[in-house]
C-alpha cells in the first residue's frame, strides 16, 4: 500500500518515540528527518551528553522530553525533594524556586519538555503509583503548588506538562499494569480532582498529560485518554485549555488493554483530541511504522479525520517552536549551578522533615534500609542511600539478627510505605521492645506509629535530599547548616 508522504509526515509529527542506551540509532535519525515530533529520553539515554548534541544536530526544532518531576521520579538524578515534601512545607515561593531550578537543569541538558508537574490530588493514601509524587491530598494545596511549579519550570524556558488529567489521585491500581476504575461524578471531579488543572491552565502550562483511568459515568468502558468527553468536553471546552494534550505512554496496559494495540490506541487518542502521542519506552522503528500505518489507515477508512491529524501535528510543532532547545551548558557553569541546586534541595528537604520523639543518641547507629521495589514510573532511581546502611528484606530478617549486628549501637530503620507490610511492622515493634530504635518513613505518610520506638521521622520522599535531611537530624553524618 502506497502512503501519501504528506499524511505520513503529519502522522509522524504527532509521535514521541524512544530508544534505549546512550547512542542514537540510525532509524531515529531517519524518522526525525522525516518529521517525527520528538523523543522521550530515559535514564539510560542521559549517561552521555553527546546523545542530546547528536539529536540537536539532526533537527533544530523538535521535542526532547523526559519525566523529570524531581524527588522520587527523576531521570537526571535530581538534587531536590519531590512534590510531597514541597507540599508539606507549603511555601509556593519555594516550590517555584525548586521547579525553576529543575527547569534550568533540564535546559542546561538540552531538554525542552518535562512531563511534570504531577498535579493529582492524592486522596487515596494507598495509591500505588502517585503517592509522594503529589503535592498533597487537598485540592486547594495542590492547586497553589501546581501553579507555582508550572511558572517555575516555564520561567526557565522548559515546557511544563501537568499530569494526569482528569486526576489519578483516587486510584488503587497502577495504570502501568491495568486499567484503573474511579467511581466519580462530574461534580466530584470538579470539586476534588480538577482544581489543580484549572490552576495549571491559569498559570499558562504549555501541555497537559492524559490519564489512563476509566471513569464509568464519563468515559464508559474506555480510559480518559480515549474519551472525547474528557479531552474535548472538559479540558478544551469547559476549562479552556488551548495548549498541547499529551498522552501518557500508549504502551501501558491501561491503554493497550482497552485498544488492543499501540497503533489502535494512537488512533483512539487522536480521535478523542490528543495532540502528542507518547509511545512509551519500548519503541523501535517497527513500532513507529506500525503506528503510522494505523493512523494512515484510520484516515483512509474514515475512523479519523485528516484535519484532526493535521491539527495535532500543528500543536506539537507549535510546542517545540515555543520552547526552543538550548545548547548544552559548559561544564564550569553546570558545576556551579549544580552546587547551588544541592543547597536548595537540602534546605527544602530539611524544611519538610517531620520529627517525632528525641533524636539524640543515634550517631553511629546501625542503619537498616528496608528493601522495597520501585514503581515503573520511578524506574531504577536510587533511594535511601544512608551512609553505611545495610539492606534487608523483612521476610528473611529477624529482630535477633539485627540486635546481634548492632551490639550496643542503636538501630535506625528506613523504608518506604513501611506500614503496608505486616512483617515489617512486626519486625520494627519487636526490635523496639528490646532496643533503641528510630524509624524513617520515606514514602507517603501514614497514621501508623510503631509502639516503643524512640523517634519517628517522616521525610515525604526518598530522594537524596530527603535522605540527607534525615541523616543530619539523626546525627548520622555531617552536613553544613
Catalytic residues: 176, 248
Contact (Cβ atoms closer than 8 angstroms) between residue 357 and residue 456? yes
> Rounded to whole angstroms, how far apart are CA atoms 257 and 247?
15
State the Cα torsion 31-32-37-43 to the nearest 10°. Answer: 100
What phi and psi, each to the nearest 5 degrees, are found at residue 343?
-65, -45
Distances from the Cα of 217 to the Cα of 49, 188, 211, 350, 438, angstroms: 47, 11, 16, 43, 46
Contact (Cβ atoms closer than 8 angstroms) between residue 206 and residue 159? yes
Three cell numbers at 406? 548492632
Residue with cell 496496559: 253
Q: Is the torsion defined by CA of 414, 415, 419, 422 positive or negative?
A: negative
Three cell numbers at 472? 543530619
Residues whose CB is less than 8 angstroms from the CB of residue 98 and which lie 6 or more positions away in sequence, other chains included: 70, 80, 81, 86, 152, 344, 345, 348
Question: What SS3 state is found at 44?
Answer: helix
> Rounded to whole angstroms, how far apart are CA atoms 313 and 405?
61
- Residue of 71, 99, 87 lying closest to 141 (CA atoms): 87
Three cell numbers at 454? 524512640
- Residue of 262, 255, 249, 271 lying closest to 290 (CA atoms): 262
Three cell numbers at 141? 494545596
> Rounded to whole angstroms, how far apart are CA atoms 459 and 441?
6
Amino acid at each position: 500500500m502506497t502512503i501519501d508522504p504528506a499524511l505520513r509526515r503529519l502522522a509522524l509529527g504527532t509521535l514521541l518515540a524512544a530508544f534505549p542506551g546512550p547512542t542514537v540509532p540510525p532509524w531515529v535519525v531517519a524518522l526525525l528527518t522525516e518529521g517525527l515530533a520528538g523523543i522521550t529520553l530515559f535514564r539510560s539515554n542521559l549517561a552521555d551528553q553527546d546523545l542530546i548534541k547528536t539529536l540537536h544536530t539532526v533537527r533544530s526544532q523538535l521535542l526532547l522530553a523526559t519525566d523529570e518531576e524531581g524527588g522520587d521520579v527523576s531521570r537526571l538524578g535530581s538534587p531536590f525533594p519531590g512534590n510531597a515534601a514541597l507540599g508539606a512545607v507549603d511555601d509556593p515561593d519555594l516550590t517555584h524556586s525548586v521547579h525553576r531550578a529543575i527547569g534550568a537543569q533540564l535546559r542546561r541538558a538540552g531538554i525542552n519538555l518535562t512531563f511534570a508537574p504531577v498535579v493529582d490530588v492524592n486522596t487515596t493514601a494507598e495509591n500505588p503509583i502517585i503517592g509522594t509524587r503529589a503535592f498533597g491530598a487537598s485540592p486547594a494545596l495542590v492547586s497553589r503548588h501546581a501553579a507555582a511549579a508550572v511558572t517555575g519550570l516555564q520561567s526557565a524556558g522548559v515546557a511544563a506538562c501537568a499530569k494526569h488529567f482528569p486526576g489519578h489521585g483516587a486510584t488503587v491500581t497502577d495504570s502501568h499494569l491495568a486499567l484503573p476504575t474511579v467511581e466519580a461524578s462530574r461534580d466530584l471531579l470538579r470539586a476534588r480532582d480538577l482544581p489543580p488543572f484549572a490552576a495549571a491552565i491559569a498559570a499558562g502550562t504549555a501541555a497537559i498529560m492524559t490519564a489512563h483511568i476509566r471513569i464509568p459515568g464519563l468515559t464508559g468502558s474506555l480510559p480518559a485518554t480515549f474519551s472525547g468527553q474528557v479531552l474535548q468536553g472538559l479540558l478544551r471546552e469547559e476549562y479552556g485549555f488551548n495548549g498541547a494534550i499529551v498522552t501518557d505512554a500508549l504502551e501501558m496496559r491501561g491503554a493497550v488493554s482497552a485498544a488492543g494495540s499501540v497503533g489502535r490506541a494512537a488512533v483512539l487518542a487522536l480521535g478523542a483530541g490528543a495532540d502528542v502521542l507518547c509511545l512509551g519506552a519500548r519503541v523501535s522503528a517497527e513500532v513507529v511504522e506500525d503506528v503510522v500505518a494505523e493512523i494512515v489507515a484510520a484516515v483512509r477508512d474514515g475512523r479519523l479525520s485528516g484535519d484532526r491529524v493535521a491539527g495535532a501535528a500543528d500543536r506539537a510543532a507549535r510546542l517545540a517552536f515555543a520552547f526552543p532547545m538550548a545548547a548544552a551548558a559548559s561544564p564550569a557553569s553546570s558545576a556551579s549551578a549544580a552546587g547551588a541546586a544541592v543547597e536548595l534541595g537540602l534546605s527544602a528537604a530539611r524544611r519538610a522533615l517531620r520529627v517525632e520523639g528525641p533524636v539524640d543518641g543515634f550517631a553511629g547507629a546501625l542503619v537498616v534500609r528496608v528493601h522495597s521495589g520501585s514503581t515503573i514510573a520511578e524506574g531504577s532511581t536510587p533511594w535511601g542511600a544512608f551512609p553505611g546502611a545495610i539492606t534487608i528484606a523483612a521476610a528473611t530478617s529477624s529482630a535477633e539478627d539485627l540486635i546481634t549486628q548492632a551490639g550496643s549501637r542503636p538501630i535506625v530503620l528506613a523504608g518506604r510505605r513501611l506500614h503496608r507490610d505486616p512483617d515489617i511492622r512486626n519486625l520494627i515493634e519487636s526490635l523496639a521492645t528490646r532496643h533503641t530504635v528510630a524509624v524513617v518513613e520515606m514514602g507517603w505518610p501514614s497514621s501508623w506509629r510503631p509502639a516503643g520506638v524512640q523517634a519517628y521521622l517522616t521525610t515525604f520522599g526518598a530522594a537524596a535530599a530527603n535522605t540527607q535531611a534525615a541523616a543530619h537530624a539523626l546525627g548520622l553524618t555531617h552536613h553544613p547548616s
